[in-house]
Amino acid sequence: MTADRTTAAPAQNSPAADVPVIEIRDLHKAYGQLEVLKGVDLRAPKGNVISLIGSSGSGKSTLLRCCNLLEDSQQGEILFEGEAVHWKGTGLNRHPADKAQVLRIRTNLSMVFQQFNLWSHLTILQNVMEAPVTVLKRDPKEVEEKARHYLAKVGIADKADAWPAMLSGGQQQRAAIARALCMEPRALLFDEPTSALDPELEQEVVKVIKALAEEGRTMIIVTHDMKMANDVSDHVIFLHQGRIEEQGAPADLFGNPQTERLRGFLSATM
Ligand code: ADP
Ligand code: MG
């Protein structure tokens, strides 16, 4: 995979350079009585890579899913390129008010899941083409060209006509990344992209993520892989029980953790 700046997030209609792609202010999220996010702030400036780390159950996936409105939240603001999400209702009855806005945000923040979530009844190429054609109503011929481009970019051009079940986990995850890229989103959201992979397959996915970071993609990555977080991130957020316990540049966070909790977490995981 080679860095290719010409295919990074489209330049037209871009907001001012200093407006973050995603900004979250004082976000609160509960599942019924269970408060999972207790006032979280997050800022993903264009071209930055933000990593979310923390123990299982600390709220990382929930925060990521709130970013692209896969989850509702009860309080706080979510801004996409400076545009605030419109809400209706309050508390547990708060939901996004504008369907078109939700679609715009969700299609511009493409998610890559731990379990790949490829459609088993579609070929790899069809998987990559599916959403741009059906959701964005793009011309199938053009989408196919792009899909093949992104499959080549993640190193599996030769798998276009294969079924997902024929691929290794690492290849399936690279196909899922190509699928996310084919949406030409403003940012990519990764939820533990390497956690379901055997160690020897993990590195092929890490390599792809590193190349995406180098070409200036905006990404938020939930990960257990502290080495990857250290290597690719501009900013690392350590979540603990739904709050940001500590955050900063990777060199500071990993090299000089300030809180007992982060020190404990790092010594248990590294
Ligand atoms: P992490 O990704 O850091 O492991 P999650 O965001 O998945 O954490 O979960 C945070 C907390 O929210 C956990 O206590 C989890 O059990 C709970 N949780 C997550 N999803 C749901 C759900 N759909 N319904 C109820 N509780 C949930
Ligand atoms: Mg999770």
Tell me the average pLDDT across 196-217: 95
- The residue whose CA is least distant from atom 26 of ligand 1 is 31
Instruction: Output the residue whose Cα is nearest ligand 1's atom 16.
Output: 57
Q: Are 44 and 32 in contact (CB under 8 A)?
A: no
The residue-averaged pLDDT of 213-238 equals: 97
Atom of ligand 1 nearest to the CA of 52: 3
260 pLDDT band, cuts 50/70/90, is: very high
pLDDT tens for 85-134 read 999 999 999 999 999 999 999 999 999 999 999 999 999 999 999 999 99
Q: Are 236 and 248 in contact (CB under 8 A)?
A: yes
Nearest CA to ligand 1 atom 5: 59
User: How many angstroms does the Cα of residue 56 sit away from the middle of ligand 1?
Assistant: 9
User: Which residue lies with its CA nearest to atom 27 of ligand 1?
Assistant: 31
CA distance 140 to 148: 12
Please tell me the residue having the least CA distance from ligand 1 atom 21: 31
**251 C-beta neighbours (distance < 10 Å), count:** 11
Cα–chain-centroid distance for residue 268?
25
* Dist. CA 70 → ligand 2 center (Å): 14
User: For ligand 1, which residues put their CB under 6 angstroms from it?
Assistant: 31, 34, 36, 54, 56-62
Name the token pair of 182: 């084919």
Q: Looking at the whole model, is its pTM more than 0.90?
A: yes
Listed in order, strand segments (DSSP E) in the chain are 22-31, 34-44, 49-53, 75-80, 83-84, 87-88, 95-96, 109-112, 187-191, 219-222, 235-240, 243-248
Q: What is the enclosing helix (H) or strand (E) of 27?
A: strand 22-31
Question: Which amino acid type is present at position 86?
Answer: H
Quick one: pLDDT at residue 15? Answer: 61
Residue percentage of the chain with pLDDT more than 90: 92
pLDDT at 14: 60
Radius of gyration in angstroms for the set of CA atoms belonging to the chain, rounded to a whole number: 18
Atom of ligand 1 nearest to the CA of 191: 2
- Model confidence pLDDT, tens digit, residues 10-44: 445 566 668 999 999 999 999 999 999 999 999 99
User: Using 50, 70 and 90 to split pLDDT, how confident is the model at 7?
Assistant: very low
Q: Phi, psi at residue 159, to the nearest 5°?
A: -100, 5
Query: Quick one: which atom of ligand 1 is closest to the CA of 63?
Result: 6
- CA dist 228 and 206 (Å) reads 7
> Does the pLDDT of residue 148 top 60, yes or no?
yes
ipTM of the predicted assembly exceeds 0.90: yes
Mean pLDDT, the chain, as a whole number?
Answer: 94
